[in-house]
Amino acid sequence: MDRIVSALHLGARPAVNTAYVGLRKRGYIVLRDSSRIPLYWVNGNPLNTYQLMAFAVMRGIRLKRR
């Protein structure tokens, strides 16, 4: 679910805060594996994986299953 990170050359699985800050500055969203606890907040609200996917779709990011 974190395939977007590869475009930023941050490595296969960078630290959550590094990946999130880098993608947030560029308008992207990082999607973690659905089996893990999400560590992302938007305007102070925690988002789970499915909410992040919906947010990414609204932002125009194409999602693809692996």
The answer to whether residues 50 and 41 touch, using CB atoms and an 8 Å cutoff, is: no
For the whole prediction, is pTM greater than 0.85?
no
Closest CA to 23 of 4, 41, 1: 4
pLDDT at position 47, please?
A: 62
Sign (positive or negative) of CA dihedral 9, 11, 34, 64: positive
Give the residue carrying structure tokens 């925690």: 46
The answer to whether residues 18 and 10 touch, using CB atoms and an 8 Å cutoff, is: yes
Higher pLDDT, 60 or 65: 60
Say how far apart CA 66 and CA 58 lie, in whole Å.
21
Dump pLDDT digits (tens) for 1-57.
455 444 444 344 445 555 566 666 666 655 554 445 555 565 666 666 666 667 667
